[in-house]
Amino acid sequence: MFPSISNAEFYQKSKQTHKQKHTPLMIIDVRESDEFAEGHIPDAIKRSLSTLVKEKDSFIEDDTYCVICHSGKRATQACNYFNGDGIQVVNVLGGMSEWRGC
């Protein structure tokens, strides 16, 4: 199983990290290219759910990735996929449909 974070908690964490100039959050946006182009979280890495299998080697096991999609279904699928391979993930509940940042 993997942890989840509410959209409000995620927003606060991203704001706090930015203000304190810590290492930026590793945010993986698993939506498709057209969705990502319509708007995304600054510094998010775009990795479509459909391409994660091919790109899995680009993720570092010691890092923790916050995974987001539109509403949560694809992010949950991605977290399940990563979790089975030892990559640390946090599911952002509500996805971009609830994002109020920027």
Give the pLDDT confidence of 31-85 residue by residue, as tens digits: 999 999 999 998 899 999 989 888 888 898 888 999 999 999 999 999 998 887 7
Mean pLDDT, range 87-96, rounded to an integer: 94
Q: Provide the whole-model pTM.
A: 0.89
- Please indicate whether residue 69 is annotated as part of the active site: yes
Domain locations along the chain: 4-97
CATH of 4-97, one of 3.30.70.260, 3.40.250.10, 3.40.50.2000, 3.30.460.10: 3.40.250.10
Q: Looking at residue 22, what is its pLDDT?
A: 58
Token digits for 16? 């706090």
Say if residues 10 and 91 touch (Cβ distance below 8 Å): no
